[in-house]
Amino acid sequence: MRRTRAALVLVAAGALLAGCGGEAAGARWRGGPSSAAPSAAPTSVAPSPAEITLAFAGDVHFTGRTLGLLDEPATAFGKISSTLADADLTIVNLETAVTGRGTPEPKRFHFRAPKSAFAALRAAGIDAASVANNHTLDYGQVGLLDTLSAASSASYPIFGAGRNVDDAYAPWVTEVKGVRIAVLGMSQVAELSGSWKPTASRPGVAMAFDAARATAAVKAARSQADLVIVFMHWGVEGSSCPSGQMKTFAKRMARDGADIVLGTHAHTLLTDGWIGSTYVHYGLGNFLWYGNSHSTDSGVLKLTVRDGAVVSNRFLPATVSGTGQPVLVSGAAKKRIEDKLRVASRCTGLAAAPS
């Protein structure tokens, strides 16, 4: 998170000055010379709402061709790191267990990575990661607990899974330029969801299928934050259109108080719009990816938020290169992705602007 600490220092300093001087910061004293006329009453100008920039990208893991990138964690994401780092807050989906132990679960694909994954995320300017997905428990509860411990040891924020149900549905809360932000992660992938869901005594991933829990989690986050973000893992692999299940859940999250709802999992790009005043992006595709997939199209979503509302949304198209690293594109390659997203927007059911 860039500039956050400095911003908080400035806010604290302003508050201290206001407290010592007995006036609002920025007040100006107007009037003639003190010996000639009484002074006018002080006036103050209300500060403009803080404007913050958020960046989001899709699925990340370190296996196959991307595992070797961790030999140099500082450069694992390549040149796109500068695009990630120039936002005030940047978040991705970490599509892997961080463990060297555990037993593979009964499923087709299994992803795991060493602890240096967190150093690579931090070096790329990524401030936090969702682990609410269908790979966090690829190596069972042992692998999940190792992931949680590794993140804690690295002082790296992850969310969307936990040692018990309360931990899994708890938001990650941070502050940017005086704006308090709560971020939740949830999965809507059915595979193994029954055995991967958390309980009071079992670690697991926060599941969107528990509608009551999902609603309670968003409402609780709403009560403690100025901005609420729900980072989902959902959709039909290979489909650029959201399913009915996704649309229904997005409406629930908007109703319950989410300001931003977005997600990953389909391995291809989907697109965005609004439900009332809630900004929704249905799918960010792959980002740092190990091999073949439904699409190499990728990108970085940049949102500008003011006074708790998204006032600007911009998608920067990229492609997953031969090294697995995402690379921003221009010219014909950029136009092709933008044209594809325009077609995809026809099936979102979302409004083109907030209301």
- The CATH number linked to 214 is 3.60.21.10
SS3 302: strand
The predicted pLDDT at position 11 comes to 36
Is the pLDDT at 306 greater than 80, yes or no? yes
Whole-number pLDDT of residue 22: 35
| Residue 38 is assigned to a structural domain of this protein | no
Number of domains in the chain: 1
CA distance 284 to 270: 6
Is 26 domain-assigned? no
Q: Which residue has the tokens 């690579």?
A: 120
Q: How far apart are CA 197 and CA 184, in angstroms?
A: 15
- Return all residues near 311 (Cβ < 8 A) that are at least 6 apart: 51, 304, 305
* Statement: residue 9 has pLDDT above 50: no
225 vs 31, more confident: 225
Pairing mode of beta strands 161-162, 204-205: antiparallel
Distance CA 174, CA 167 (A): 16
pLDDT-based confidence at residue 19 (cuts at 50, 70, 90): very low
Q: Is residue 143 part of a domain?
A: yes
Query: What pLDDT sits at residue 41?
Result: 53
For position 49, what pLDDT does the model report? 81
Span 22-35, mean pLDDT? 32
| Structural domain includes residue 65 | yes
The per-residue pLDDT for 137 is: 98
* pLDDT exceeds 60 at position 8: no
pLDDT at 1: 54
Mean pLDDT of all residues belonging to the chain: 90
Q: Please give the pLDDT value at position 147.
A: 98
Residue 23 in this model has a pLDDT that exceeds 70:
no
Burial of 167 (0-12, 13-18, 19+ CB in 10 A): middle
Q: Indicate whether 140 belongs to any domain.
A: yes
| Residue 234 pLDDT > 50 | yes
Write down the pLDDT at residue 44. Answer: 63
Average pLDDT, stretch 173-179? 98
- Residues 34-40 have a mean pLDDT of 44
**pLDDT at residue 48, as a whole number:** 74
Q: What is the mean pLDDT of residues 259-275?
A: 98
Beta-carbon neighbour count of residue 155 at 10 Å?
8
Give the pLDDT band of residue 145 (cuts 50, 70, 90).
very high
- Give the pLDDT score at 296: 97
Residue 225 sits in which domain range? Answer: 51-347
Instruction: Calculate the alpha carbon distances from 262 to 3, 22, 101, 148, 177 in Å.
Output: 24, 44, 31, 23, 22
- Taking only the tens place, the pLDDT of each residue in 328-344 is 999 999 999 999 999 99
Q: What is the pLDDT of residues 64-119, one digit of tens each?
A: 999 999 999 999 999 999 999 999 999 999 999 999 999 999 999 999 999 999 99
Domain assignment present for 132? yes
On the question of pLDDT at 159 being above 70, the answer is yes
pLDDT in tens, 190-230: 999 999 999 999 999 999 999 999 999 999 999 999 999 99
Residue 10 lies in a domain: no
DSSP calls for 267-290: SSB--EEEETTEEEE--B-EEE--
Q: Which residue has the tokens 């993140």?
A: 151
In a domain, 43, yes or no: no
